[in-house]
Chains A and B, each alone.
Chain A
Amino acid sequence: MSHEPAAPNAVAAHAGHDAHPHVNYFAIFIALCVCTGISILLDLFESQSLRWVIVFLVISVAVAKAMFVLTYFMHLKFEGNWKFIILLPTTILAIGLMVALTPDIALHYYTPDVPQVHQDAPAVPAPAADHGHGH
């Protein structure tokens, strides 16, 4: 998900906040609204078979929105290469954390049985609950 290092060094060399070229911020705002609309529309889909595709699309839309904000609102497109020095370590650590946590989802070393979940029976108390082990 790394952004293209398209930042022109000529611009970056000027440094400072006055060097930002003009951006059509309103267009970015509209793009963000459209993205939000797309994620809400995707929520209305009720397809069992395409569920994971839709989940992927929803996350992709979120990443796209994040890139819009980072690139234009936070001016990363116009910053020098220092942005990689600062953001790369934190990104690697953040992704590393997610990767490290993934086995908890995918590789259960324990039986993923949940006593609270009613697998078959609709109710937990048996019909013979009358002679329960109460007081």
Chain B
Amino acid sequence: MAQTHGTTSVKMGIPISRAKLGMWLFLGTEIMFFTAFIGTYIVCFFGSPGWPTDTHQTHINIAAGGINTFVLILSSYFVVVAHEAMGLRDFAKARKFLIMTMVLAFVFLGIKTYEYKGKFDHNILPGKIAEDDFQAMDNVVKAMKTAVERELDSLIPGTEKPYEKQAALNQKITEPKAGEAESAEQRTYRAWQGWNEEFNRLRTEVSGNKLTLKDVEERLETGYAHTIIVDTKAPVLKAADGRDLTHVAGTLEDSQIEAYKAKQPFTLKAHTGETVSIAPDNLVTAVIPAEVIDLGHEIHHPFVMPYGNLFASCYFLMTAFHAIHVLVGMTMFAWLLMQGSALNETWSDFMENAGLYWHFVDLVWIFLFPLLYILPGLMRAV
């Protein structure tokens, strides 16, 4: 027993436990670690004319950041209470507040995940953001290629290459027996062909430098959105240039969509400018895969964000390293909670160090919140 007295004695001339000294030295290095990231971000922010500050475009959600700030502050308070309770040997209370801290940590990570999802969904990712008009147009072509190929995969399942699947699809269309009406599947295949034609036209024209970003935007808004598929047995829609509009008929107004859903006749303006009357019988209402109709919706409105990739790198570097620290803090609290009712005063040092670490995590967020969420809005009018 006598030998255990030495464990908490002070030997280094500094009147604190070695564990706490170690934690503080570690936190000293952590300060420099995060200063490097935050400093880099500040230099990029203020040193780059045109740095992205539109929080709608960058999908920075001030409400989410604000709630997360509150969550971390509250969790820090709970940790302090837990530590205090341990000092008073009220270990049940300490456990209760540690559990609440864990819950708040999960809430923080949940909100962070929600924010990350918004960025992933809108391609606010390093290396994915268009910084000029040409890159923005390329992104539209890529998105359309993805959508068209995914649709092809659902129509022709298998591991063949896209061009092999396309050949298989073409073959299925040319197979109908004479005199017989096209089957529903064949009409779907033709609908896909129409999309593929549109995609090829866009790709050729973009790579041929024939379109501006504005043209592509207009085409997305009018040409690809709300596209309907018309029965091939109906009078064929031909554009002035002879292009077959049977599959890609045009833009629908809200009232026309209603009529379409109610299977009532209506007229529509094809994106070539022609007015076409559509009878309910002409519509392939039963077999239109939702993916084909909504293809235009899936392709995000193109945007140009100078320095967007650098912004995304900074954002993910800072917030992800912070989130990793949250996970480490949670591990320490989980370790304490795993002691269950065996939690006693021998864990005081551990509790204090876990608390110090957690407060540091809170501290980092205290700076990340204004820098990432508040400043962009303030500097927006530059």
Residues of A within 8 A of B (CB): 12-13, 15-18, 20, 25-26, 28-29, 32-33, 36, 39-40, 42-43, 45-46, 48, 51, 54-55, 58-59, 61-62, 65-66, 69-70, 73-74, 79-80, 82-83, 85-87, 89-91, 93-94, 97-98, 101-102, 104-105, 108, 112, 114-117, 123-125, 129-130, 132-135
Q: Which of B70, B377, B378 contacts A36 (CB 8 A)?
A: B70
Q: Which of A12, A13, A36, A124 contacts B73 (CB 8 A)?
A: A36
Q: From residue 1 to 49 of chain B, which have CB atoms closer than 8 A to chain A?
A: 8, 10, 14-17, 20-21, 24-25, 28-29, 31-32, 35-36, 39-40, 42-43, 46-49
Q: Is the CB of B379 within 8 A of A25?
A: no
Interface of B is mostly: helix
Query: 23 A-B residue contacts at CB 8 Å?
Result: A17-B83, A17-B87, A33-B70, A40-B66, A43-B374, A51-B381, A61-B370, A62-B366, A83-B24, A85-B14, A86-B28, A87-B31, A90-B29, A94-B31, A94-B35, A101-B39, A116-B132, A117-B49, A123-B213, A124-B132, A125-B212, A134-B209, A135-B208
Q: Is the CB of A70 within 8 A of B363?
A: yes
Query: Assuming A39-B370, A45-B378, what are 17 further A-B pairs, CB within 8 angstroms?
Result: A36-B69, A36-B73, A36-B369, A39-B374, A51-B379, A73-B77, A73-B359, A73-B362, A90-B28, A90-B31, A98-B39, A101-B43, A115-B132, A116-B50, A124-B134, A125-B209, A129-B211
Q: A43-B378, A59-B370, A125-B212 are in contact. Are A104 and B32 (CB under 8 A)?
A: no
Q: Is the CB of A135 within 8 A of B207?
A: yes
With A and B bound together, what is the CA distance between A77 and B225 in angstroms? 62
Closest to A31 in B: B73
Residues of B within 8 A of A (CB): 8, 10, 14-17, 20-21, 24-25, 28-29, 31-32, 35-36, 39-40, 42-43, 46-50, 62, 66, 69-70, 73-74, 76-77, 79-81, 83-84, 87, 131-134, 207-214, 304, 306-307, 348-349, 352, 355-356, 359-360, 362-363, 366-367, 369-370, 373-375, 377-379, 381
Closest to B63 in A: A40
A-B residue pairs, 5 tightest by C-beta: A132-B209, A15-B15, A116-B306, A90-B28, A117-B50
Q: A39-B370, A74-B359 are in contact. Are A125 and B133 (CB under 8 A)?
A: yes
Separation in Å of the B208 CB from the closest CB of chain A? 4
Q: Which of A20, A65, A74, A90 contacts B32 (CB 8 A)?
A: A90
Separation in Å of the A65 CB from the closest CB of chain B? 5
Q: Is the CB of A123 within 8 A of B214?
A: yes
With A and B bound together, what is the CA distance between A32 and B16 in angstroms? 28
Q: Is the CB of B87 within 8 A of A66?
A: no
Q: Is the CB of B369 within 8 A of A129?
A: no
With A and B bound together, what is the CA distance between A65 and B366 in angstroms? 7
Q: Is the CB of B356 within 8 A of A74?
A: yes
Separation in Å of the B307 CB from the closest CB of chain A? 7
Measured between beta carbons, the chain B residues less than 8 angstroms from A89 are 28
Measured between beta carbons, the chain B residues less than 8 angstroms from A85 are 14
Separation in Å of the A71 CB from the closest CB of chain B? 11
Closest to B364 in A: A66
Q: Which of A58, A105, A114 contacts B50 (CB 8 A)?
A: A114
Q: Is the CB of A62 within 8 A of B35?
A: no
Q: Is the CB of B367 within 8 A of A98?
A: no
Q: Is the CB of B16 within 8 A of A55?
A: no
Q: Is the CB of A39 within 8 A of B369?
A: yes
With A and B bound together, what is the CA distance between A54 and B73 in angstroms? 23
Separation in Å of the A97 CB from the closest CB of chain B? 5
Measured between beta carbons, the chain B residues less than 8 angstroms from A93 are 32
Q: Is the CB of A28 within 8 A of B16?
A: no
Closest to A85 in B: B14
Closest to A88 in B: B28
Q: Which of B36, B306, B363 contacts A97 (CB 8 A)?
A: B36
With A and B bound together, what is the CA distance between A58 and B66 in angstroms? 14
Measured between beta carbons, the chain B residues less than 8 angstroms from A29 are 73-74, 76-77
Q: Is the CB of A91 within 8 A of B31?
A: yes
Separation in Å of the B34 CB from the closest CB of chain A? 9
With A and B bound together, what is the CA distance between A79 and B70 in angstroms? 27
Separation in Å of the A40 CB from the closest CB of chain B? 5
Q: Which of B47, B73, B79, B209 contacts A104 (CB 8 A)?
A: B47
Q: Which of A32, A42, A74, A108 has the most CB of B within 10 A?
A: A74
Separation in Å of the A33 CB from the closest CB of chain B? 6
Q: Is the CB of B210 within 8 A of A129?
A: yes
Q: Is the CB of A28 within 8 A of B374?
A: no
